[in-house]
Amino acid sequence: MATATGTRLFGAPEKRREDPRFITGRGQYVDDVKLPGMTHAAFVRSPHAHARLKRVDAAPARAVPGVVAVYTALDLKVGALPCGWMLPNIKVPPRPALASGKVRYVGEPVAVVVGETAYAAKDGAEAVRVEYEALPGVSDPRKAHDKGAPQLFDDIPQNQCFYWTIGDKTATEAAFKSAAKVVAQPLRNQRLIPNAIEPRACVASYAPGTGDLTLWVTSQNPHVHRLLMAAFILGIPETKMRVIAPDVGGGFGSKIFVYNEEVVAAWASKALARPVKWTAERRESFLNDAHGRDHVTEVEMAFDRGGKITGLRVKTHANLGAYLSTFAPLIPSYLYGPLLSGVYRIPAIFCEVWGMLTTTAPVDAYRGAGRPEATYLLERTMDRAADDLGVDPAELRRQNLILPFTSGTPYQTPVAFAYDSGNYEPALNRALELSGYAKARREQEEGRKRGRYIGIGVSTYIEACGPAPSAVAGSLGAGAGLWESGQVRVHPTGAVTVYTGSHSHGQGHETTFAQLVADQLGIPMAQVEIVHGDTAQIPFGMGTYGSRSACVGGSAILMSLDKVKAKGRKIAAHLLEANEQDLVFEGGKWSVKGSPGKAKTWGEVSLMAYLAHNLPQGMEPGLEATSFFDPPNFTFPFGAHVAVVEVDAETGQTKLLKYVAVDDVGRVINPMIVDGMVHGGIAQGVGQALWEHGVYSDDGQLLAATMMDYALPKADQLPSYETERTVTPSPVNPLGIKGAGETGTIAATPTVANAVIDALAPFGIAHIDMPLTPDKIWKAVTAARK
């Protein structure tokens, strides 16, 4: 394997090349696509959490001016939306693109109205008459498990979609039997709603002349969209479908999945032989974008006399919603249980998960996806334990850390994962130092004497990124390989176009990948073009999620660069009449060792590859390569975060005074971009700790269905953050990158929750479930004072 050279561009905070179009209003998002003859779709959605569909009367809608067509499940000839991850003995309920027979969550699409304009389509949607027979709903995953709970599907008893375990039950029970101390904490990881600022959208355009279907869609993985839609839903050859994910305004997981609306739009475009556009209103995003988290969990942690963890037992009811979204079963299983060791030596772990169907919107990957849930329960419990054991929470963490392993020998946890490389204490030490931890503790003590409630929260974390070794993923139930593709096409001038299977929806790949290429080839970034997001241009690719683009996608590009460089070297040696081994490639040219005047530039070699006037005997003309990188293991970024908060005991308001993040994401291509991702992740993590909650009523009405009811973090609620990094290269990819997309989200939630609960310690408050809103804090403080 090649290794990247550590020269100028790799590691430089280059300004982003994509920014000029965004800051001048010239980005091209899906909703900006306008085609001749384009129609607009509006969906009729269920107002009931659970109901029998008695009758859909489309006639009044058809009479509305500007309405082109109305379709229901009876008209639509498409397959069910597939689930791409199976677990042993899982029961997969069929998920229709338009509801049929029953509706099972508020917002489930029941019919579609296609209009000449978006306004006409919405008028039509209001005119569709739907008769429902309401049934009782259930939104809580544990209540859904009760005998007598409302049944979503006749053949899925007690709504249990799967039961899954990981770890050694016997060893864990033994650990608890011999424990000196057991700390137990029931907790909820509340439902979140992703809320990328760009709502989901699609434009489907079927060309009757050729039978080609083009779909512009807000997707993090256009080939996954194409494969699932063509092969499983629409039943058309993949070659007849082109998926374009142009500029996409954030995803955070929610744009990985195949949704009802793009399926219906694609089918309707064919039925009408006209383009069909649909753009979500924000309320539709709340109702039908896949949600995140929603676990009800019981944790027990066993300790020996010296404060060493000896066992961990976890029981989780994971809410999957009414149907299985594309990768739903993966999130509360293999992206959750295997993370439960954290950065700690835990000899015995046993985790049980009940995957539950409820009358709520489907739940799937949201930034972090399973890993935040694991980290939260672990780190919240560590704080509970520190309190019970009477030790400093940072110290308890330190004494349980896994010792450094950086030489390439992985650390085997008791829950399947073998960590790639890790050196956990320096990050913890640095975070404590940067935050002025000792001083903050003194201020906390002083403050408490005067009724000022300062809280300090510490959290470590680990995450599994860069999915995945395909064979491992396959053995665990994946319906896909999880490698990445990278194609490098060198032009006669030496300029390079890179076609990547990764997709950028804010990550800045057009900059970072260009840095990587320019760095490797010694050419200016201006000569490098990065192409992504169009299945007609790029080789089959798996897309962007799980912090995989740099470490998996970047490595695929590097492999192709190595191939074109190897061929270029042969051409250069031939032209210079020198031995290949005697050539040095530096600064964009090959020169002969010892006689630097004898050289051929990258451009000269590229030109000759295409002129083909003078190539080594038997060599094919041209200079391009395609590679597929399948990593041998996940990568495991880690770090430690510290937050200092002040809680107003009279109002319950929390003010975040300081936030420090020390992350180890391995090697970094562009530190400015990585810092930016960490900042955004922290904000989302703080959002979960303090404000965000996708609240459903017990019977399944979504009570937080607009931005007025769902509290997204705002500029005036957050501080500026201090970020630093330690660097432990990953041995599982040639770039040494671990991945940086989700670190902040994973760490910030327990960090801030711990800080708030720490502030409330004088009141004897040991735990409050998130979000830690003023209302909940005030009630807890008031109750404690009585």
Region of 252 please: left (phi>0), alpha (psi -120 to 50) or beta.
Answer: left
Q: Residue 706, interface with another protein (CB under 8 A)?
A: yes
Q: Output b/e per residue, 320-350; b: 16+ Cβ within 10 A.
A: bbbbbbbbbbbbbbbbbbbbbbbbbbbbbbb
Q: Edge-to-edge strands of the sheet including 528-531? A: 528-531, 496-500, 484-490, 624-629
Contact 347, 311 (CB under 8 A): yes
Note whether 561 and 488 are within 8 A (CB).
Answer: yes
Only one of the segments 315-323, 581-589, 609-617, 669-677 lies at the binding site for another protein (rule: CB under 8 A); that segment is 669-677
User: Minimum distance from CB of 744 to another protein (Å)?
Assistant: 7
Facing residues of 658 across strands?
A: 644
Whose Cβ is closer to another protein: residue 14's or residue 758's? 14
- From the list 15-23, 233-241, 424-432, 450-458, the region that binds another protein by CB under 8 A is 15-23
Are the CB atoms for 527 and 495 separated by under 8 Å?
A: yes
> Given candidates 3, 5, 23, 178, which one binds another protein under the rule CB under 8 A?
23
Quick one: which of 179, 233, 234, 677 contacts another protein (CB under 8 A)? 677
CB 195 within 8 A of CB 712: yes
For residue 617, how many other CB atoms are within 10 A of its CB? 5
19 binds another protein (CB under 8 A): yes
Q: Is 683 in the site for another protein (CB under 8 A)?
A: yes
Q: Which is nearer to another protein, 154 or 716 (CB)?
A: 716
Contact call for residue 505 and another protein (CB under 8 A)? yes
> Does residue number 502 form part of the binding site for another protein (CB under 8 A)?
no
Does residue 765 belong to the site contacting another protein (CB under 8 A)? Answer: no
Report the 10 Å Cβ neighbour count for 590: 26
* Beta-strand relationship, 51-57 and 102-103: antiparallel
Per CB under 8 A, does 11 bind another protein? no
- Chain positions 721 to 750 lying near another protein, rule: CB under 8 A, are 721, 744
Does 682 engage in binding with another protein (CB under 8 A)?
A: yes
Residue whose C-alpha is closest to residue 325's, from 366, 283, 284, 353: 366
The answer to whether residue 16 forms part of the interface with another protein (CB under 8 A) is yes
Q: Which of 679, 699, 762, 765 binds another protein (CB under 8 A)?
A: 679
CA distances from 509 to 15, 245, 500, 532, 570 (A): 12, 14, 9, 9, 30
Which CB sits closer to another protein, 23 or 611? 23
Tell me which of 407, 581, 614, 720 binds another protein, using CB under 8 A: 720
Interaction between residue 65 and another protein (CB under 8 A)? no
Q: Is 306 helix (H, G, I), strand (E, B) or coil?
A: coil
638-647, strands of its sheet edge to edge: 453-462, 638-647, 654-664, 722-725
Structure tokens at 492: 């006669």
Residue 163 near another protein by CB under 8 A:
no
126 binds another protein (CB under 8 A): no
**Cα–Cα dist 122/60, whole Å:** 13
Quick one: 11 or 404, whose CB is closer to another protein?
11
| Residue 672 makes contact with another protein by CB under 8 A | yes
Q: Are 39 and 275 in contact (CB under 8 A)?
A: yes
Q: How far is CA 333 from its chain centroid?
A: 15
Nearest distance from residue 266's CB to another protein, in Å? 23
Q: Is 655 in the site for another protein (CB under 8 A)?
A: no
Distance CA 765, CA 163 (A): 33
Q: How near is the Cβ of 217 to another protein at its closest, in Å?
A: 15
Binding string, 223-262, against another protein, x = CB under 8 A? ------------------------xxxx-x----------
Is the CB of 250 or the CB of 492 nearer to another protein? 250
288 binds another protein (CB under 8 A): no
Specify the residue, 28 or 239, whose C-beta has the smaller distance to another protein: 28
Q: Which residues contact 446 (CB under 8 A, 6 or more apart)?
A: none
Q: Which is closer to another protein, CB of 343 or CB of 674? A: 674
Cβ atoms within 10 Å, residue 596: 11
Distances (CA, A) of 664 to 378, 406, 706, 738: 19, 13, 36, 8
* 509/548 with CB nearer another protein: 509
Picking from 564, 450, 588, 436, the residue whose alpha carbon sits closest to that of residue 498 is: 564
Taking residues 164 to 203 in sequence order and writing x for each that binds another protein by CB under 8 A, - otherwise, the string is: -------------------------------xxxxx----
For another protein, the closer CB: 155 or 716: 716
Distance CA 264, CA 109 (A): 10
| 32 vs 388 by CB, closer to another protein | 32
Q: Shortest CA distance to 280 belongs to which of 107, 422, 408?
A: 107
Measured from the CB of residue 118, what is the shortest distance to another protein in angstroms?
8
Residues 102-121 contacting another protein, CB under 8 A: 118-119
How many residues lie near another protein (CB under 8 A)?
A: 61
CB of 675 to another protein, least distance (A): 8
Structure tokens belonging to residue 753: 């929750």
At its nearest, how many Å lie between another protein and the CB of residue 538? 20
3-class DSSP state of 168: coil
Long-range contacts of 434-441 (CB under 8 A, 24+ apart): 434/642, 434/660, 434/662, 434/722, 434/724, 435/642, 435/644, 435/658, 435/660, 435/722, 437/394, 437/642, 440/644, 440/658
Q: What are the two backbone dihedrals, phi and then psi, of residue 717, each rounded to the nearest 5 degrees? A: -100, -5
Among 715, 764, 785, 786, binds another protein (CB under 8 A): 715
Q: Can you tell me which of 72, 205, 260, 507 binds another protein, judged by CB under 8 A?
A: 507
Binder among 439, 594, 716, 764 for another protein (CB under 8 A): 716
Q: Residue 639, interface with another protein (CB under 8 A)?
A: no
Q: How far is CA 151 from CA 59, 104, 145, 161, 357, in A?
A: 32, 10, 9, 12, 9
* Nearest CB to another protein, comparing residues 106 and 382: 106
Nearer to another protein, 279 or 549 (CB): 279
37 binds another protein (CB under 8 A): no
Which of the stretches 28-36, 209-217, 544-552, 565-573 binds another protein when contact is defined by CB under 8 A? 28-36
In the complex, minimum distance from the CB of residue 20 to another protein, in angstroms, rounded to a whole number:
7
> Which spans of this chain sit near another protein (rule: CB under 8 A)?
15-16, 18-29, 31-32, 34, 118-119, 195-199, 247-250, 252, 279, 281-283, 505-508, 672-673, 675-677, 679-684, 706-708, 712-718, 720-721, 744
